[in-house]
Amino acid sequence: MAMLLSAARLWDGHRLVDRPLIRIEDGLIVSIGRAEPGNQPPQSAGDFHSPTATLAPAFFDVHIHGAAGHDVMEATPEALGAMGRFLATRGTANYLATTVTAPLEATLRAVSGLAKLIQSPGVLAVGDAPAARPIGIHIEGPFLSSKRCGVQPKEHLLAPSISIFDRLYEAAEGQIRLMTLAPELPGAIELVRHAVARGVRVSLGHSDANTAETLAAVAAGATSATHVFNAMRPLDHREPGILGVALATDALNAEFICDGIHTAPEIARLWYRAKGPERAILVTDAISATGMSDGEYTLGGFPVRVANGRAMARGVLAGSVLTLDRALANLLVFTGAPLADALRLLSTNPAAMTGLEAIAGSVEVGKPANLVAVDRQGKLLLSIIHGKLATSP
């Protein structure tokens, strides 16, 4: 099936292109040209032409636990298929399936099942409905601080251990791409070095680390910070700690949950000004309730109550019901960031941080056709995932 797209501009992951004309065939981008001024391309069924929209790479979420009533810890084709089909309608093409702290054997089973699904993406599709695909695993735990664990179950936290990490890595068949870790814990710095040597990116979070402990992790190879401002030592002007280092250094990318619930809009502006368009990453931290009505849900097996867009468990926030298209629109309102810069935060930047630029984060000839079209306010107008139009049910 062939498809033709044109718009006012294209953010292709590297630069802005005026009046792009993109042709898609058999799920791939086969050409990227320019539409002549005043010459509207011929339109067939399934084509998209807009004189005002911006085309961009489809979104990549490096921190997501679930959606559409399912949790990634289920690790079944049915769960990830339903989750992926919903995410595709919201502009997300790829994600890192993110685990939560759980009994070690449960986590081993989950990452093993996820690895098989990552390596067999076709099993997630149902009919013509495209599905976002997991392209790696993010293990959020068990090597976290009991003081800053948030909703992560304290009883299942473990001290950083190279041998336990290796068990997880082998069970996941090498598909672990990102690990969140508290750098102040004994053995953490050695584990950072070991994980990085195996090709895993390390993100610092759920941590009470001070400045020196954070800098030691950066020197060992850590490259990001997990949902900054949340589940970490607050900023102090004499001991900046993990948050101060994350905001002040270009060595760390910084995840941010831009839902107006996890942080105030003023904090979104502070974060964006500190990190800029090249080191900031939008994530959802979404749970199974995303895309569903208020009610009772689960996160990694424990109960979560969702009411008025707020997910709570044990008296604290338990992830979100955010989608990346909504995060983009919120960011534009909260910060006034230029649209092209904002689009980097949920496509180009996460791909660069994880080293997955060959799969995600850009629009290029020969790549799978994963694109979105948005208006000036960041509202999603079109989602094409793996060459197919994704429409809401």
Tokens of 36: 């002549």
The per-residue pLDDT for 120 is: 92
**CA-CA distance, 71 to 75, in Å (whole number)?**
8
Residue 30 domain-assigned (yes or no): no
Q: Note down the domain range covering 175.
A: 57-361
How many structural domains is the chain composed of?
A: 1
Question: Any idea what DSSP says for residue 33?
Answer: E
pLDDT per position as a tens digit, 68-87? 999 999 999 999 999 999 99
The per-residue pLDDT for 89 is: 98
Burial class from Cβ neighbours inside 10 Å (0-12, 13-18, 19+) for residue 204 reads buried
The per-residue pLDDT for 183 is: 98
pTM of the model: 0.96
**CA 380 → CA 91, 285, 303, distances in Å?**
7, 20, 31
CATH number of the domain bearing residue 86: 3.20.20.140
- Confidence category of residue 41, pLDDT binned at 50, 70, 90: low
- Confidence category of residue 282, pLDDT binned at 50, 70, 90: very high
The per-residue pLDDT for 2 is: 87
The per-residue pLDDT for 393 is: 58
pLDDT per position as a tens digit, 186-206? 999 999 999 999 999 999 999
Residue 257 domain-assigned (yes or no): yes
**C-alpha angle with apex 68: 66 to 69, nearest 5 degrees?**
80
* Mean predicted lDDT score pLDDT of the chain: 96
Tokens 């964006």 found at: 272
- Confidence category of residue 124, pLDDT binned at 50, 70, 90: confident
How does 11-45 read in b/e, with b if 16+ C-beta sit within 10 Å?
bbbeeebebbbbbbeebebeebeebeeeeeeeeee
The per-residue pLDDT for 44 is: 73
pLDDT of 301 over the 90 cut:
no
Pick the closest to residue 56 from 363, 369, 368, 380 (CA basis): 363
Instruction: Specify the 3-state DSSP secondary structure of 313.
Output: strand
Query: Would you say the C-alpha torsion 66, 283, 335, 241 has a positive or negative sign?
Result: positive
**C-alpha angle with apex 321: 317 to 323, nearest 5 degrees?**
135
Residue 43 domain-assigned (yes or no): no
Residue 93 domain-assigned (yes or no): yes
Residue 102 domain-assigned (yes or no): yes
Residue 13 domain-assigned (yes or no): no
Residue 75 domain-assigned (yes or no): yes
Range of weakest confidence among 118-122, 136-140, 282-286:
118-122
Residue 322 domain-assigned (yes or no): yes
**CA-CA distance, 93 to 372, in Å (whole number)?**
10
pLDDT of 39 over the 80 cut:
no
- Confidence category of residue 218, pLDDT binned at 50, 70, 90: very high
Range of weakest confidence among 20-29, 36-45, 293-302:
36-45
pLDDT per position as a tens digit, 308-347? 999 999 999 999 999 999 999 999 999 999 999 999 999 9
Please list the residues that pair with 33 across neighbouring strands: 21
Tokens of 173: 């068949």
Pick the closest to residue 167 from 187, 194, 149 (CA basis): 194
**CA 240 → CA 208, 211, 213, 245, 388, distances in Å?**
11, 6, 11, 7, 47
Pick the closest to residue 142 from 162, 159, 157 (CA basis): 157
Tokens of 188: 């953490």
**Residues involved in catalysis:** 285
